[in-house]
Structure 1
Amino acid sequence: MKRGLLFVVSGPSGCGKGTVVSLLQKEHDFAVSVSATTRSPREGETDGVHYHFWTHERFNKAIADGEMLEYTLYSGSGRYYGTPKAHIAEELESGRDIILEIEVDGAMQIKKRMPEAILVFMVPPSMKALRARLIGRGTESADVIEARIGRAYEELRLAHCYDYIIVNGENSIEETVRKMLDIAAAERFRTARNTDFINTLISEQGKE
């Protein structure tokens, strides 16, 4: 059985990456990684579904035991966010593709630890469109929106570190999902992912 593919999706807040990831999970059987955090659950959030809500002690032990694929400590809040390894390893070994939707810093950590990970950076068709989306949510103050726009420009400067760039919002969300599926299909044909099969064919020399 072939291993599944690990996708890491990042992009500015408001670019629609969460919607794309959700559709891939619901309609195309992609597994989705659940992050761990030391913050308290918000109303409507369920442990193990939205996040693994851990104590600082549990999170620090996971780091010390090498259980985290990536993690970040946000100095302003003192909260940890990160990705446990175990679930990802299980899904990949079962042959199922899995997606992580994480910040740029975490994506860079994963690329160092798992070079085979496929990094996808999702962007809006324009920064004007991004601003319109953030305003259209109607959930954030003007100051928060400005902070998100500023952060988006910082993230864009690291887009060159990713394997693929997808523009979300040029047409339909379904087209963006199709682009992700096209990437998955192409990645399965990479030479590095098929060397075992080639070696099996070579081993048949003289036995055919």
Structure 2
Amino acid sequence: METTTLPALTWSGATACWHELPRTLAAGAVTVASAVPLAAALLAGAPRALAAIAVLPVALALTGLASFTAPIADGDGPSLPALRRVDPVLALLLSAAGLALLAPWGVVPAAAVLLVGPNALAYGAVRGKRGLAALRGGVILAAYRPAWALTLTALTVIALFAAAASAGVLAFAVAPLLLTIASRQTAALLAEIDALQATR
């Protein structure tokens, strides 16, 4: 990858996603559909434990979406069947964010998932790692370049607000866009780390 500056990687990831817009919107629709049980539980005032469990389908869909967006970030064409390559173990681990729906102190693990989650999803898809290995890779990448992890977190929050402000119109584009950017950044970080290890 010729350039590894954060703005350039973010822009190139967004551009790559835009070039595959019809299929990324279709993939985004699958992810939005996975959030219906969670939205219904929250709107209906369901028990918090039930709402926490409803986070799992969203996390599962996001692992499949990461498999879909990784080839886009790499410059290859996406494949909708890649959405079926889900990682149940990683999804279960990331669903710890559901703890935020159970108790006030749950905000802490939820914040940690928001910080590490995009890196873990992207790392798992880019390197073909699953479960704990993907989560560990996400933690390492976040620790290696915390400013990039914080930027992804900020972009996630901004994108969620934008989706809400658009009455859901942008919801179909948010997750594919963010994960394409995350995969582009992850590939650049991995190339940098591999180069450093090769010189030792």
Tell me, yes or no, whether TM beats 0.5: no
User: In proportion to residue count, which structure has more strand?
Assistant: 1
What is the TM-score of this pair, normalised by structure 1? 0.28
Greater share of residues in helix: 2
